[in-house]
């Protein structure tokens, strides 16, 4: 857990995105002794739970930095209200408990958990949207409950076990964003035995389809490009 004095505004910036790879290598040599610093710098030794942050990761987190994508998700009432309903249905497991929100975005699920009576919520996001989340937390007078950690789940440190993990990790075709691994990382590092994960199961339905127009447009197209038989269709 970050030192108490760093919790005053509920916001922490961890290492990871926000720094170039070179900066991270340069900075990541020694733990800072300055307790008032808002930047936590980690030891050079890379624990197994901390995979490298690739350029792809940086681009991915950048794509979540702007409000537009979050507005789209929050406006999806089926998605957002299903999460709120699930939180309220599990209120007895959340009230008075410690929660981690893996990929908190604007902090909406963290706030639902606070409304359900959570004792403390660690709201983690590596994207700069964490800065907005922290403002939302402050505007709702929840800084004493919700601690926003700006960094990758794999990089931030929480110094206590948690009772609940909540996360909206589902991408296109369920697994597309590959975010489930981060939820599992959080589970393995912090969740108490018997703790709650929301959601903890999902069903993926698949059906084969034939879409001849789409096939022709994207595959057959390459068979004759201005009279050239291109190889691209076999890629």
Ligand X SMILES: C[S@@+](CC[C@H](N)C(=O)[O-])C[C@H]1O[C@@H](n2cnc3c(N)ncnc32)[C@H](O)[C@@H]1O
Binding site for ligand X (CB under 6 A): 61, 64, 70, 73-74, 103-106, 108-109, 124-127, 129, 152-154, 168, 179, 182
Give the list of residues 6+ apart from residue 2 with CB closer than 8 angstroms, or none. 12, 40, 147, 149, 157, 159
The answer to whether residue 177 is catalytic is yes
Query: Which residue number, 82 or 218, has a Cβ lying nearer to ligand X?
Result: 82
CA dihedral 85, 107, 58, 149 (to 10 degrees): -120
DSSP 184-197: HHHHHHHEEEEEEE
Smallest gap, in angstroms, from Cβ of residue 32 to ligand X? 21
Query: Which residue number, 41 or 233, has a Cβ lying nearer to ligand X?
Result: 41
Q: Nearest residue by C-beta to ligand X?
A: 103
Smallest gap, in angstroms, from Cβ of residue 183 to ligand X? 9
User: Of 81, 157, 168, 231, which is the active-site residue?
Assistant: 168
Query: Which residue number, 6 or 167, has a Cβ lying nearer to ligand X?
Result: 167
First to last CA, the chain: 48
Give how far Cα 75 sits from Cα of 5, 71, 82, Å. 36, 6, 12
Smallest gap, in angstroms, from Cβ of residue 172 to ligand X? 11
Q: What is d(CA 108, CA 110) in angstroms, rounded to the nearest whole number? A: 5
User: Of 72, 154, 177, 231, which is the active-site residue?
Assistant: 177
The answer to whether residue 168 is catalytic is yes
**The tokens of 121 are what?**
């919520």
Smallest gap, in angstroms, from Cβ of residue 62 to ligand X? 9
**What long-range pairs does 37-43 form, CB within 8 A, spacing at least 24?**
37/6, 38/6, 38/11, 38/12, 38/13, 39/13, 39/14, 39/15, 40/2, 40/12, 40/13, 40/14, 40/15, 40/151, 40/156, 40/157, 41/15, 42/15, 42/155, 42/157
Smallest gap, in angstroms, from Cβ of residue 159 to ligand X? 18
Query: Which residue number, 125 or 163, has a Cβ lying nearer to ligand X?
Result: 125
Query: Which residue number, 104 or 121, has a Cβ lying nearer to ligand X?
Result: 104
Which residues are catalytic, by number? 168, 177
């Amino acid at each position: 857990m970050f030192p108490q004095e760093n919790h005053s505004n509920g916001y922490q910036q961890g290492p990871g995105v926000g720094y170039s790879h070179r900066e991270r290598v340069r900075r990541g040599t020694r733990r800072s002794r300055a307790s008032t610093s808002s930047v936590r710098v980690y030891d050079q030794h890379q624990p197994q739970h901390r995979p490298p942050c690739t350029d792809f990761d940086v681009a991915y987190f950048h794509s979540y930095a702007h409000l537009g994508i979050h507005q789209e998700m929050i406006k999806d009432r089926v998605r957002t209200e299903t999460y709120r309903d699930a939180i309220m249905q599990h209120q007895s497991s959340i009230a008075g408990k410690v929660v981690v929100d893996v990929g908190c975005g604007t902090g909406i699920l963290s706030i639902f958990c606070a409304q359900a009576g959570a004792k403390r919520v660690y709201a983690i996001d590596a994207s700069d949207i964490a800065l907005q989340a922290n403002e939302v937390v402050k505007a709702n007078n929840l800084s004493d409950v919700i601690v926003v950690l700006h960094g990758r789940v794999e990089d931030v440190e929480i110094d206590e076990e948690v009772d609940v993990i909540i996360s909206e990790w589902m991408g296109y075709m369920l697994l597309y964003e590959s975010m489930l691994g981060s939820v599992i990382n959080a589970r393995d590092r912090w969740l108490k035995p018997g703790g709650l994960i929301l959601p903890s199961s999902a069903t993926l339905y698949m059906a084969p389809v034939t879409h001849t127009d789409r096939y022709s447009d994207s595959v057959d197209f390459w068979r004759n490009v201005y009279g050239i038989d291109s190889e691209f269709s076999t890629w």
